Amino acid sequence: MKLEELLSLRSLGGDFAELYDFVNAGKSCAAVALGPSERAHIATHLGRFVLYVVPDSPTQNMMFERISGFCPSALVLDPKDDLLIYRKAFQHSRITARLKVLAAMARGEAGCVITTPQALAEYYPDPERLLDSILHVKTGDTLDLMDLTDKLTEMGYVREARADEKSSFSLAGDTLVVFPPDSDLPVRISFWGDEVESIKLYDPESMITVAEKNEMEIFPCNDLLLTEKEWTSALDKAGKESAKGKAKSGERRGAILADLEAAGRRDQGGQWLLPFYKNTRVNLTAYLPENSLIALEEDGLIVDKLGLYLEEHAQRVKALSEDGETLPAHAKILFGADDIRRMIAPFAKTAFYSITSTARLFDPQRIFKLRCSPLSDYTLNYKALYNDLRNFRSGGVNVILCMGDSRTAHTIADSLNGEEILCRYEDEPSQGSAIHVTPLRLNRGVCYPGCKLAIIGRDDIIRRSGGRITTRARAAFSVPKMGDYVVHDVHGIGRCVGIRRMAMRDSERDYISIEYAGGAMLYVPIDQTERLSRYSGSEKAPKLSKLGGKDFEKLKESVKKSLREMATNLVKLYAERMQVKGFKYSPDTSIQTEFEQSFEYEDTPDQTRATQEIKADMERGIVMDRLLCGDVGYGKTEVALRAVFKTVTDGKSAVILAPTTVLARQHYNTASARFAPYGLKVELLTRFQSKEEIKASLDRLATGKSLIAVATHRILGKDVRFYDLGLLVLDEEQRFGVEQKEKLKLVKKNVNVLTLSATPIPRTLNMALTGIRDISVLETPPKNRLPVQTYVTELTDALLKDAISREIARGGQVYVLFNRVQGIEHMADKIASLVPEAKIVVGHGQMDSVTLEDALRAFYNRQANVMVCTTIIENGVDVEGANTLIVCDADKLGLAQLYQLRGRVGRRDRMAYAYFTTDPSHVITTDAVKRLKSLMDYTELGSGFKIAMRDLEIRGAGNVLGREQHGHIEKVGYDMYCKLLAECVDELRGVKGGDVEAEVTVDADAYLDSRYIADVDDKLKVYREISELSSREEADGLLKKLSVTYGKPPEELENLVTIGLIRSLACKVGIEKVVIPARGGSMTFADGRIYRDEGYLEAISSFGGKVSVTAEDKPRIVFDKFAGGVKEKMKTAEEILTKIYVLTRKNN
């Protein structure tokens, strides 16, 4: 029997069937005493489209999870971002997501839409106008490219030379690239004349096609959808109303109107004019089919929430109008409760109540009291599951377990049968009193005892995912762009100024122009771009090296000397540690597994791997010294607590050591909550505990009555004794003082140490240290349940007052980031006068440590609700109540800093707000505007952010390796530093470098024509890829990728790719020079290695007499007996080198 048949209200009979008939007769009713899953089940089985209205966002998220289990086409309609604050940038992905939901409603493609009173109170574009605005593209369609670009511009997309950012498009020849705001990947639409030939999604980093589609829809970037006449009229009306205001407010409104006029009608900022074009809008019910059902969950709460929202809106309009941020007309851009009653009147309605209540939005014609029994939470409580199943079985209830897949279903069935609970595995459940385990998918189940039916969903038994997103790995080395400072392997630091084509013999080649000290120029052949790396090591501009001098070589040797010492010490320490006999911990027990599974979120792959690495260290019987890196919120603490749990279950004690009392308190709260169910007491030792409390804690720790402590450096005192200390978890070691670090060295000698770092570590550094330093890295960030609403706007007193007052009113806390110590107290005073109810603390790096820590502690403990601070909060503690961030002069901060700062809010279920503000009296640069706008749609690490991320990684490298090494990174650049470190580690391991530098001279044109790829930065990217080729397969893959992206590669580019491959192979087999003139051809070895490896001679002899070798100190391979011109000779050279490479590797 189909699951849907069992869930049908008609098949359940009784009141369920009557409810179904009642609603389908177009009548309105109420249903009482139903749990969330039962509400979701009934609402989605009434045979109609359902608009499901809930009181607030947390309930919306919870009900979407329940409803989507029964109705896979269910969608969520969120309210718009703030309608009052004028902004210069928007999260277009959120706008497009809303438009997609509205389009699905208009087309009847959604079975249910879950929304809130705020969304119900808003105005919407006309459904027909919305559907007309969507661009439909299908392979085989005939479309005019010029019309398409006009349409995209009309939809709010910005034309760029390259569509790297969301909400942009580009046109090159017959290829149109569009980057929709709600997509992680741009789409490439290829034409043959006017016919759409292909539609492909591709990775903008690698240019590789990820998916191919036959058709797709592209949605607008804004939801205004106004005609020119409507736009002009709205601007005119707004101007007239603005002129009525006071001088102060009129000045601000005049600035906003000037901005709007300059931006034009396609800019989302035009929503500020809503009061003057709302006659073109409709209410949400315009999107509902005629026979829709409106379900209202606790409609009394809905009316109350709506009233509070409307009251707040009116108060905000009044306050903001005084400073010119809004106009009085903004008071009337929402529907009130009476309006909503009229809107929903034509539709059938069902209200759901926990207890019998009075309906406030409509009068129900009947109240149904349906008997249900909400299921218990069986996650990690199989005992309760077994008991309930036995009771169901004895009561004659038909039980169906929906496990989502056959593997899980078989596992559960085996488990039940092992407990002597008879059940049967079935693809489809059958009728009758039995326990059926099926692979059918249902998130949450329902239980109707009167109908003798219980359906148990997968998430009722198995802990569901906490929602994580993965990020693509960042490239090992960064490709330089025009204007970047670069580091050449030999000549040092210069500046990349362009690409120059020069004649060489009878052919033309491209060279990268690098400027050095005194204006000296170096021209690097484009097949040698691997010798260049982008300089990143300091925020200041580096000093240019002197071309032709020995200074950079001396500098490299100096850095390398220091690196050898460091690497030698690391290797020595690592070897010594391997020899020290540590405690060998027991393999995992069932209680360890239970503890790990009781974590409220599903592990990220990184967390799982890190946990396994740490436990493997502990079970080997060595003294562990492992570094665990990951940003705040990536799950380091949870991984550390698993190591603590493993330690104490084997009878040893564990200490978590934090540099500040605030961090210690945070760890204490987390650890106490996690360990309490297992009867483990956690001691807290900081300066804020009384002497009596500390003495009692120390006594318990010394005698083993308590095995876990969280402490600051107080724990390093001579009076502290532990009962068999087994693990030290060290949080942010670099923040401890010199004296504290010396004491730590003594503690660390014979106990396992796990060091936590909140600054990301460079991937290349991690690779270079493999085998001499144990490092685990968490790179998978948490996915916010509610995204951070991000605003880019000007800083005004009205904005400060509005944003801070709103957060305080909902019981939250605010960070105000003012990154200048001079003036920070003045900013705090200003906020105090604007928002008298604010309890303010100030924090900056020039304070003494005790004062700063007291300020942070007051904010963490909610004794203050506003913290005015500098960027010291970048790697701060997790302040649960802080959900609003205001950054002053955001244009003066780097993209990576801004991204990390935004991560300080929005860590919980509550909606968070980040305001990146600029000074209205200053003109900000175009680059700064672009940088701020790029934050709007990058909720994951985007392409622009990956480059900025390097700044953070360099800090991470300094934290791992120490301040001296950070200074070396500044001197030679991060990429060069990593290369030198890898060389030192290879030397210590006895690995000999085999590659040489090869020069390739070919009498053939080899360059990248600007008519093929115009953008210089794109050219550099391709040049880097060419220089890194190592096989014909890779070369052909690159040519294919270029063909897909830019069209058929010209002959000069094909030559360039082959030359790049020849040079790469020559370097690998020890050839330093390849010459391919119009006649003949030769290759010269760097040394006599040909006589030491039979593979060379075997490869050469395989070509018969056409290839010969000269007997010299530096032997030459001569291949002048092959027919054909230069192109054929290039192919021959490639074949010879490939053969040598394969055979020499085979012999070794």
Q: Does residue 670 contact residue 656 with C-beta atoms inside 8 Å? A: no
How are beta strands 175-179 and 168-172 bridged, if at all? antiparallel
Q: How far apart are CA 305 and CA 55, in angstroms?
A: 6
What residue spans define the domains of the chain?
3-128+283-369, 135-218, 382-461, 580-777, 788-938
Helical segments of 323-451, H only: 337-344, 382-394, 406-418
* More reliable by pLDDT, 1059 or 764: 1059
Count CB atoms within 10 A of the CB of residue 276.
22
Return the pLDDT at 681: 94
CA atoms within 13 A on the CB side of 668: 18
Pick the CATH number of 3-128+283-369 from 3.30.1360.30, 2.40.100.10, 3.90.1150.10, 3.40.50.300: 3.40.50.300
CA distance 259 to 325: 13
Cα separation of 620 and 577, whole Å?
12
1075/1116 Cα distance (integer angstroms): 11
Q: Higher-confidence residue: 5 or 402?
A: 402
CATH code for the part of the protein at 580-777 = 3.40.50.300
Q: According to DSSP H, which parts of 908-1015 are helical?
A: 926-937, 943-961, 963-972, 974-989
**Bridge pairing between strands 1082-1085 and 1071-1076:** antiparallel
Angle at 183 between CA 177 and CA 188, to 5 degrees: 20
In eight-state DSSP terms, residue 200 is E
| pTM metric for this prediction | 0.72
- Per-residue pLDDT tens over the stretch 165-201: 889 999 988 889 999 998 889 999 999 999 999 999 9
Of 325 and 991, the one with more pLDDT: 325
Distance, in Å, from the CA atom of 814 to the CA atom of 812, rounded to the nearest integer, reads: 7
Q: Are 797 and 920 in contact (CB under 8 A)?
A: no
Which pLDDT score is estimated for 239?
92
Q: What mean pLDDT is predicted for residues 244-269? A: 84
Q: Per-residue pLDDT averaged across 995-1017, rounded?
A: 82
Give the per-residue pLDDT at 463: 64
Residue 938: pLDDT over 90: no
Q: Which helix (H) or strand (E) holds 104?
A: helix 92-107
Kindly tell me if the per-residue pLDDT of 206 is higher than 50. yes
Radius of gyration of the chain (CA): 34
Banded model confidence at residue 926, pLDDT cuts 50, 70, 90: low
Q: Is the pLDDT of residue 733 over 50?
A: yes
What is the rounded distance in angstroms from the CA atom of residue 997 to the CA atom of residue 369? Answer: 83
pLDDT score of 965 more than 70? no
User: In the prediction, which pLDDT does 772 show?
Assistant: 58
Is residue 242 predicted with pLDDT exceeding 70?
Answer: yes
Mean pLDDT of 128-148: 95
Contact (CB, 8 A) for 547 and 520: yes
Spatial CA neighbour of 381 closest among 601, 685, 597, 660: 597
Q: How far apart are CA 715 and CA 668, in angstroms?
A: 14
d(CA 30, CA 369): 9
DSSP 216-243: EEE--S-S----HHHHHHHHHHHHHHHT
Residue 219 scores a pLDDT above 90: yes
Residue 93 three-state SS: helix
Q: Looking at domain 135-218, does it have CATH number 3.30.110.30? A: no
- Spatial contact of 101 and 51, defined as CB atoms under 8 Å apart: no
Give the whole-angstrom CA distance, residue 382 versus residue 373. Answer: 19
Instruction: Indicate the pLDDT class of residue 467, thresholds 50, 70 and 90.
Output: very low
Determine the CATH number of domain 788-938.
Answer: 3.40.50.300
Residue 717 clears pLDDT 80, i.e. is over it: no
pLDDT above 90: percentage of residues in the chain = 42
Q: Using an 8 Å Cβ cutoff, are 10 and 20 in contact?
A: yes
User: Distance between alpha carbon 1066 and the CA centroid of its chain, in Å?
Assistant: 40
Query: Is 352 within 8 Å of 295 (Cβ atoms)?
Result: yes
Residue 956: pLDDT band by 50, 70, 90 thresholds?
low
Q: Is the pLDDT at 898 greater than 70, yes or no? A: yes
Best CATH choice for the domain 382-461 from the list 1.10.3470, 3.40.50, 3.10.50, 2.60.40? 3.40.50
Name the residue among 609, 634, 942, 895 with its Cα closest to residue 759: 634
pLDDT on residue 942:
36
Reply yes or no on whether the pLDDT at 933 is more than 90. no
Convert the pLDDT of each residue in 20-53 to its tens digit. 999 999 999 999 988 899 999 999 999 999 999 9
One fold for 135-218 and 788-938: no
DSSP for 870-887, please give it. Answer: -GGGTT----TTEEEEEE
Q: Residues with Cβ < 8 Å from 185, sequence gap 6 or more?
A: 201, 202, 203, 204, 210, 211
Pure H helices in 962-1088: 963-972, 974-989, 1016-1027, 1032-1046, 1051-1069
pLDDT value of position 692: 92
Q: What is the mean pLDDT of residues 97-125?
A: 96
Tokens coding 518: 């005194």
Average pLDDT, the chain: 85
Of 602 and 735, more confident: 602
Query: Residue 100 pLDDT more than 90?
Result: yes
Q: What is the mean pLDDT of residues 329-356?
A: 92
Helices of type H across 8-91: 9-12, 14-24, 36-43, 57-70
Question: Taking 80 as the threshold, does the pLDDT of residue 982 lie above it?
Answer: no
C-alpha closest to that of 85 among 788, 803, 787: 803
User: Is residue 246 classed exposed, middle or buried when 0-12, 13-18 and 19+ CB atoms within 10 A define those classes?
Assistant: exposed
653 close to 701: Cβ distance less than 8 angstroms: yes
pLDDT digits (tens, 9 = 90+) for 901-925: 887 887 666 788 999 999 887 777 6
What pLDDT score was predicted for residue 465? 46
Cα-based torsion angle of the residue sequence 17, 18, 24, 26 in order, rounded to the nearest 10 degrees: -160
Question: What is the predicted pLDDT for the residue at 792?
Answer: 86
Pairing of the two strands 1082-1085 and 1108-1109? unpaired
